[in-house]
Amino acid sequence: MKTFLTLVASLAFTLGASAHNDEGTTRYRVDASASTITWHATKVTGEHMGTVDVTNGYLSMTDGQLTAANVIANMETIRCTDLEGEWGDKLVGHLNSDDFFNISEHKTSSFTLRNIEALTETKGEATHSVTGDFTIRGITKSITFEAKVMDNQGKLSIEGSVVLDRAQFDVKYGSGSFFDNLGDNLIHDNFTVGFNLVADAA
């Protein structure tokens, strides 16, 4: 049920590095306060949704092409936006537990770019096909999805959504991949992570 996108991988970015290097690469620092990550999960009896904060991240453009990216999400900030008060607190507490994301041991989730290609035919607002590694609960899986990449006068933004299978990350609670005859207690394995990342030239 997460989102969030456990960021463990590291890119060739150095904190405080200059914006341009000799190879014509521009490095961008993700603006955590302007960036958003959302999650949406469904079950037989309904759905839940919420957010997770971005901790930090870096992107790199070479000759106008995105060539590297690493984004870290703070799982300790996971929130539910469709429930309030006691019920919302209970759900968030459950998501924090070992039934779901075991956040006491896995405080972050991450995404690291592996490949990106411009779409030859646009689909909605997406401009690129993106392949990268998602790390959740210390488990890393490579996923391909579509995103909209925009470079506008020193600001870089990437937005879109990706469907993840929680069973691949050993999130077992209420999963038909691990348990039989769950009936109305079944929680679907697939959940959607939405993202809108905004970055400024470092």
Domains of the chain: residue spans and CATH: 25-201 (2.40.128.110)
Q: Is the pTM of this model over 0.85?
A: yes
Residue 147 CB neighbour total at 10 angstroms: 22
Q: What is the mean pLDDT of each run of 10 residues along the chain (202 residues)?
A: 36 33 80 97 98 96 92 98 97 98 98 95 88 98 96 88 98 98 97 97 84
Per DSSP (E only), the strands in 81-138 are 108-123, 126-136
Q: Are 7 and 112 in contact (CB under 8 A)?
A: yes
Helices (H), 5-158: 85-96
For residue 138, what pLDDT is reported? 97
d(CA 54, CA 103): 15
d(CA 109, CA 69): 14
- Digit-coded pLDDT (tens) for 48-95: 999 999 999 999 999 889 999 999 999 999 999 999 999 999 999 999
Q: Are 72 and 57 in contact (CB under 8 A)?
A: yes
Give me Rg for the CA atoms of the chain. 17
In order, the DSSP letters of 17-30 are --SB-TTSEEEEEE
d(CA 73, CA 135): 10
Q: Are 138 and 181 in contact (CB under 8 A)?
A: no
* Dihedral sign computed on CA atoms, order 128, 78, 139, 171: negative
